[in-house]
Structures are given as structure tokens and as C-alpha cells.
């Protein structure tokens, strides 16, 4: 389903570069806006996952991973991980970057696997997998790096829970919001992808036609004559 599959094997196409740049900008804008959508706990909702899914579906898992990396960097710059930085800088860096890169790559890879069977199912599955992987890696990072600080984090957040319940409570609300948002917007995401693919395919067809029209008539005539002479030669040889 991703555009210019053959071109991507040889190198990144112009269309892929343009789309990845556009999606990168949207990830930055969306996640900066997410700073003002803190509904559950101290963390902003990951609305930057939407352009990640679109970019991963259109351009493949590698671009999806890149968009996830940008997403993680923006989360840290905007203060979305400040609570965890106070307890472990290295653990926070690894967790935030891995969950961003992982969710972008997973979205693109799932689409790559399923698009050959059903386009709509592939897009919806990618939209679901993205927040699932994002939250899953977040919880894994919490267990690996922040479990010793669970009680202290619960105290800072004034939560009457301990251990893994702290991190589950932090992730649960935002995860449901992100998952619901991606599922609801799946038809919109699918439409955007269809329009983008149609636009780039049309441009590609137009360029091909324009290139053919720019061939001089004299060159076309020579090619036709050479083809005719070759056919005559083959005919005479056969006789």
C-alpha cells in the first residue's frame, strides 16, 4: 500500500521525502498542541500518533520509526517526561525514544503485512497497534527503570497506590483516549491516505506522459524506421 515501493528499494523517492517532511512537521505541531490536552495524570495525550500512523502507512516502517523518534524528542522538549527525568535521566531517554520509534515502526510494519489482503483492515490495524505499542513500551520501561521509585512517584502524584499500579494508573487513561481517537479517526486517516496516493500516482503518470511527449518527432521517426528495417531484415533472412 505504501507509495513507490520499487523506488524505495533503490533509494528514497521524492514523494517519500516530501511526505515524510510534511508528516514530521505535523508530528511536531500536533504534539506541541498536546501540551494543552493533559486529561489524565501529568502526561499530555499523544495526538502526535495520528500523523505517525499516516506517515508509516504511506511511506513504510522506516519513516514510521523516524516520525516516532521526532515524537519522542518533542515529548521530552515540551516537558512531557519531566516527572521521570527527576528519577532517572537515562531510563527516561531510553523509554521515551524506544516507545516512539517502536510505535511508528510497528504501525508501518503491520500495514505492510496486511495491505496485500485488505487496505482498510491494514490502516485500522495500524491505527490500533500504534498506541498499543506506545503504551506497552512505556509500561515496560517503567518496570525496568522506575520500579524502585514507584512509591516516590505515587507520593508526588498523590496517588494511593503502589508498585506497577502507579504506572498502570498513569498510562490507562491516556491510552484509552489515544486508542479511541485513533479508531474513530481511522476512516479519516484512510481517506487522507487514499487522496495522497491518488495525487502522487496522478503526478507520476503526468510526468511520464510529459516525458514521452518531449521526444523529438525526428527521433521517433528514426526509431520507427529502425524497427521497420529490422522487421524487413528478419523477413528476408527467413526467405
Q: DSSP for 142-156, please give it.
A: IIIIIGGGHHHHHHH
* CATH code given to domain 5-202: 1.10.1760.20
Tens digit of each residue's pLDDT (9 = 90 or more) over 171-221: 777 787 788 888 887 778 888 888 877 777 676 565 555 555 555 555 544
Helices (H), the chain: 5-10, 14-33, 49-59, 61-77, 82-85, 89-114, 119-141, 150-156, 164-184, 186-213, 217-238
- Asked if 60 and 108 count as a contact pair (C-beta separation under 8 A), the reply is yes
As a whole number of angstroms, the distance between CA 99 and CA 101 comes to: 6
Locate 200 and state its grid cell. 502522487
Stretches where the chain sits below pLDDT 50 are: 1, 4-10, 220-222, 224, 233-234, 236-239
Owner of C-alpha cell 524528542: 73
Determine whether 42 is exposed, middle or buried from the number of CB atoms within 10 Å of its CB (0-12, 13-18, 19+).
middle
Q: HSE of 48 in the Cβ direction (CA atoms, 13 Å)? A: 35
CA dihedral 200, 114, 133, 170 (to 10 degrees): 90
Chain centroid to CA 111: 10
What is the C-alpha separation between 3 and 111, in angstroms, rounded?
12
- Residue 9: the pLDDT is 47
Which residue ranges make up each domain of the chain? 5-202
> What pLDDT sits at residue 189?
82
State pTM to two decimals: 0.75
Amino acid at each position: 500500500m505504501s507509495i513507490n515501493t520499487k523506488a524505495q528499494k533503490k533509494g528514497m523517492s521524492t514523494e517519500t521525502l516530501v511526505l515524510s517532511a510534511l508528516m514530521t512537521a505535523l508530528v511536531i505541531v500536533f504534539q506541541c498542541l498536546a501540551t494543552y490536552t493533559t486529561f489524565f495524570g501529568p502526561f499530555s495525550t499523544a495526538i502526535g500518533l495520528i500523523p505517525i500512523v499516516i506517515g508509516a502507512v504511506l511511506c513504510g516502517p522506516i519513516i514510521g520509526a523516524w516520525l516516532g523518534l521526532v515524537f519522542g524528542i518533542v515529548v521530552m522538549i515540551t516537558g512531557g517526561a519531566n516527572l521521570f527525568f527527576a528519577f532517572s535521566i537515562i531510563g527516561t531517554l531510553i523509554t521515551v525514544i524506544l516507545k516512539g520509534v517502536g510505535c511508528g515502526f510497528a504501525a508501518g510494519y503491520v500495514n505492510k503485512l496486511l495491505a496485500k489482503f485488505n487496505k482498510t483492515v491494514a490502516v485500522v490495524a495500524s491505527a490500533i497497534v500504534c498506541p498499543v505499542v506506545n503504551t506497552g513500551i512505556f509500561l515496560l520501561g517503567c518496570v525496568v527503570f522506575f520500579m524502585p521509585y514507584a512509591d516516590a512517584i505515587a507520593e508526588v502524584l498523590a496517588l494511593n497506590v503502589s508498585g506497577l499500579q502507579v504506572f498502570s494508573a498513569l498510562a490507562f487513561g491516556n491510552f484509552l483516549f489515544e486508542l479511541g481517537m485513533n479508531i474513530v479517526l481511522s476512516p479519516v486517516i484512510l481517506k487522507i491516505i487514499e487522496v495522497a496516493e491518488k495525487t502522487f500516482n496522478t503526478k507520476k503518470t503526468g510526468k511520464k506522459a510529459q516525458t514521452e511527449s518531449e521526444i523529438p518527432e525526428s527521433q521517433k521517426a528514426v526509431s520507427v524506421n529502425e524497427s521497420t528495417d529490422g522487421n524487413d531484415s528478419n523477413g528476408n533472412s527467413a526467405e
